[in-house]
Structure 1
Amino acid sequence: MKIVLLLGFIFLNNVVCTDVNTVYICDSRTGKRYHYTADCKGLNNCQHKVLKTTLEIAKSRGKTLCGFED
């Protein structure tokens, strides 16, 4: 029984946790924000490709968190 509970906990922990290191940015010269979800309202105006990247890279490019996600 303990093994079943342990496996259940491990499974739920992996399903519920999201990767906070993955962010989305608009691939334009004027884009200033990063987004935690690809369907954020802040990306609706993106006329270019939406890129999936890491938080570290987005910050190194001078991006800040989108106001809709704050």
Structure 2
Amino acid sequence: MPTFLIPNSGYCIEPVSESVKVVNPEYRRLDSQIRSSQGKLNRLLARFATLTLDAPIEPDKVEPFLQKRQSARKK
């Protein structure tokens, strides 16, 4: 394996054993984004699920409920 060293760069070179697993930084970044998005989605779905209509179904009471639920769906 070729070794490239830039003089006076401050980096140290250390051989890595073939058995050592190294995580790809790009994979780690993408995995982090996916986990973050999944967590946000789960929190939104949980909040959306808590919105229930407890009052009798009358047009004047249903409209505010539907608007609230629609705004939760858009977020």
Larger radius of gyration: 2
Is the helix fraction higher in 1 or 2? 2
Is the strand fraction higher in 1 or 2? 1
Q: TM-score, normalization: structure 1? A: 0.31
Q: TM-score, normalization: structure 2? A: 0.30
